[in-house]
């Protein structure tokens, strides 16, 4: 008797573990909050029940009762819930975010409860469906102890699958999506399909868990898959640590064992344990959010690094005043040797954009040549960043065109533009704060085999080989900008100047031929800024085409072969540094004197 009780308890914990690790991939890694876990769990259970049983429990008849073996019901549950997850992801991956995503998944949950409660001919309504005794590969499972091993095996399989996903380049891509989708688009990384696939995969894992639990209990009913279960699973993810699979496993074991512990210690009776456990779960969740907001095992936690995980990073590249430059003129400006005229790589033609009654840009035209550094300067509000947005596809112009190597990229989204070889460095960095410096840079490397989820499982050796190359390349780029000393540090713990260096290394990792740099030296100390200046020179010398928005005239004079001066959304001057600084009208516009 005691053995069966413990086996039943352990089985329920195993189901909770499988649900928690699957939700952690969606919530902890991809940052997509879902309250539909219980619905997918129940959908898998009902799919298995319909496919394997003789019909609804009251009538013994059903609209559809093929009476397949358990494996048939299990596979059916996986397929049905996978496509149900994709259906939910259709609006979620593109437009629905944040609180609205919670409402969307709640709506799916209530739709599931309504259908299973009212479609009596198929689901048995409130009375549910009885399943036949569990049989696997000809072996009939008769006892609770035997059934436990099936539940345990599935929990292990689900955990391994999620661990594999989370630790792969695909998992790194999901974490990037969670941190900043716009930054990923600028690196040429798509986000819609990875999010959709993650919804589908995690729904399928929850559905498979439901199929195993239905076969284990030999009964399904709507009340089993309540919203309380979805909240419980989310609590396991939050308490264990979002983005840490082991944390979800430990939290699920602890929370799943809470009720029987309270009963057996005499703190609660079996009658009062059920209502009180919800109160206790809520109290634990609140205390955890107050005293351990990142969970028991935060993302990236390892016992080896436990001693210095939250320490600040020392270094010479300390923060300057964010948004300003401490670079002082060196006295004598570098004398540039005139460059021979080279091929036009980018041509901006008559870009015009209005926002309501405000005309942000008006008939802006200029050309960028191979190996050339062009500075786009002007007073605040001149439209410089808006031009970058139009060039990269972040904003569609009302009129005009952008040609990249003679081909129009008008209408292309930022992902496509980046893949074509034009990448952007943001003024406000858009660093992926919850990830390490090296993971930030690794996301910029193109051609990663492991970013295709199928390859993670079908060709693991090829993925591992490519990942070693990606890591080596990322470290090289960090070294190029002098940031290799904190490659394994979490980006949010770094100073602003250090974050800008990481963002620059990430840009280099893309291998783009055209680099749009929006104030790359603002907010960094003189030493770091000089590093960036030298890097930009080297990149131009190697044949890169560079357009830079910069407020520091010292940096402009050090770097620019040519200046495009903008004011009030239009180009009002173009020429060399000497030609532009020699015009009194432009100097007055720039300095306001």
- Phi–psi pair at 545, nearest 5 degrees: -100, 125
The torsion angle over the Cα atoms of residues 112, 113, 119 and 125, rounded to 10 degrees, is 140
Q: What is the pLDDT of residue 325?
A: 39
- The 3-class SS string of 525-574 reads CHHHHHHHHHHHHHHHHCCCEEEEECCCHHHHHHHCCEEEEEECCEEEEE
Q: Where are the domains of the chain?
A: 2-226, 344-421+512-591
pLDDT in tens, the chain (593 residues): 456 878 888 999 999 999 999 999 999 999 999 999 999 999 999 999 999 887 655 444 555 566 788 999 999 999 999 999 999 999 887 778 888 899 999 999 999 999 999 998 888 889 899 888 877 776 777 678 788 899 999 999 999 999 999 999 999 999 999 999 999 999 999 999 999 999 999 999 999 999 999 999 999 999 999 998 998 999 899 889 888 999 999 999 988 887 677 666 655 666 666 667 667 777 777 777 676 666 777 776 554 444 333 333 444 443 333 333 333 434 344 445 556 667 999 999 999 999 888 889 999 999 999 999 999 998 888 889 999 999 999 999 999 999 999 999 998 999 999 999 999 999 888 999 999 999 999 999 999 999 999 999 999 999 999 999 999 999 999 998 888 899 999 999 998 888 988 999 999 999 999 999 999 888 777 887 888 898 899 999 999 999 999 888 888 989 999 999 999 899 999 999 889 888 888 888 877 64
CATH label, 344-421+512-591, candidates 3.40.50.300, 1.20.120.520, 3.40.50.620, 3.10.20.600: 3.40.50.300
Using DSSP's 3-state secondary structure scheme, residue 326 falls into coil
Q: What is d(CA 521, CA 325) in angstroms, rounded to the nearest whole number?
A: 7
Half-sphere CA count of 407, side-chain side, radius 13 A: 9
Q: What is d(CA 167, CA 280) in angstroms, rounded to the nearest whole number?
A: 33
Query: What's the CA angle centered on 65, arms 61 and 70, to 5 degrees?
Result: 130
Farthest-apart Cα atoms in the chain, separation:
95
Q: What is the pLDDT of residue 340?
A: 61
Provide CB contacts within 8 A for 171, sequence distance 6+.
25, 29, 165
Nearest one of 163, 261, 205 to 213, comparing CA atoms: 205
Helix axes 99-118, 37-52, angle to 10 degrees: 30
Q: Are 568 and 554 in contact (CB under 8 A)?
A: no
Q: What is the pLDDT of residue 2?
A: 55
399-404 vs 407-408, strand pairing mode: antiparallel
Helix axes 144-166, 245-256, angle to 10 degrees: 150
Nearest one of 2, 203, 198 to 93, comparing CA atoms: 198
337 CB burial (10 A radius; 0-12, 13-18, 19+): exposed
């Amino acid at each position: 008797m005691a053995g069966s009780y413990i086996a039943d308890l352990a089985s329920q914990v195993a189901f909770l573990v499988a649900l928690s690790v699957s939700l952690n991939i969606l919530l902890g890694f991809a940052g997509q909050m879902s309250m539909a876990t219980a619905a997918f769990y129940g959908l898998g259970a009902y799919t298995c029940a319909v496919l394997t049983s003789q019909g609804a429990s009251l009538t013994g008849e059903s609209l559809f009762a093929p009476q397949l073996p358990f494996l048939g019901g299990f596979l059916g549950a996986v397929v049905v819930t996978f496509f149900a997850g994709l259906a939910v992801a259709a609006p979620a991956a593109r437009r629905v975010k944040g609180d609205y995503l919670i409402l969307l998944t709640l709506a799916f949950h209530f739709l599931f409860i309504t259908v299973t409660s009212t479609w009596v001919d198929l689901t048995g309504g409130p009375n549910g469906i009885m399943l036949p005794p569990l049989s696997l590969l000809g072996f009939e499972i008769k006892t609770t102890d035997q059934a436990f091993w099936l539940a345990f095996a599935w929990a292990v399989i689900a955990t391994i699958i999620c661990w594999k996903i989370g630790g792969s380049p695909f998992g790194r891509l999901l974490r990037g999506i969670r941190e900043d989708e716009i930054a990923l688009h600028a690196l040429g990384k798509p986000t819609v399909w990875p999010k959709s696939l993650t919804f589908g995969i995690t729904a399928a894992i929850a559905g498979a868990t439901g199929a195993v639990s239905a076969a284990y209990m030999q009964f399904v009913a709507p009340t089993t898959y309540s919203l309380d279960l979805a909240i419980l699973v989310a609590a396991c993810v939050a308490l264990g640590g979002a983005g840490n699979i082991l944390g979800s496993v430990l939290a699920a074991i602890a929370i799943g064992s809470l009720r029987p512990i309270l009963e057996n210690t005499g703190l609660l009776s079996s009658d009062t344990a059920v209502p009180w456990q919800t109160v206790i779960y809520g109290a634990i969740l609140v205390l955890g959010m107050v005293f351990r907001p990142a969970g028991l095992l935060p993302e990236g936690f390892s016992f080896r690094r436990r001693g210095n995980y939250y320490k600040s990073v020392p270094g010479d590249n300390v923060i300057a005043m964010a948004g300003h430059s401490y670079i002082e003129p060196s006295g004598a400006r570098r004398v540039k040797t005139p460059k021979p005229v080279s091929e036009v790589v980018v041509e901006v033609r008559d870009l015009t954009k209005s926002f309501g009654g405000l005309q942000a840009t008006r008939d802006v035209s200029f050309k960028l040549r191979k190996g050339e550094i062009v500075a786009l300067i002007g007073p605040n509000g001149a439209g410089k960043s808006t031009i970058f947005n139009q060039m990269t596809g972040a904003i569609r112009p009302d009129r005009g065109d952008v040609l990249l190597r003679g081909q129009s990229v008008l209408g292309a989204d930022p992902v496509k533009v980046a893949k074509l070889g034009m990448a952007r460095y943001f003024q406000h960095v858009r660093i992926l704060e919850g990830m390490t410096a090296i993971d930030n840079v690794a996301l910029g490397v193109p051609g990663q085999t492991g970013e295709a989820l199928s390859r993670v499982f079908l060709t693991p050796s090829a993925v591992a080989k490519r990942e070693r190359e990606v890591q080596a390349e990322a470290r090289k780029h960090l070294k190029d900008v002098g940031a290799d000393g904190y490659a394994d540090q979490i980006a949010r713990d770094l100073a602003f100047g250090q974050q800008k260096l990481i963002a620059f290394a990430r840009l280099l990792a893309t291998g783009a031929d055209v680099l749009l740099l929006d104030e790359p030296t603002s907010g960094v100390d003189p030493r770091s800024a000089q590093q960036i200046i030298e890097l930009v020179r080297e990149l131009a010398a190697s044949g890169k085409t560079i357009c830079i928005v910069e407020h520091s005239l010292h940096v402009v004079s050090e770097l620019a072969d040519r200046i495009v001066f903008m004011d009030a959304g239009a180009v009002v001057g173009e020429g060399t540094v000497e030609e532009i600084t020699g015009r009194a009208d432009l100097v007055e516009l720039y300095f306001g004197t």
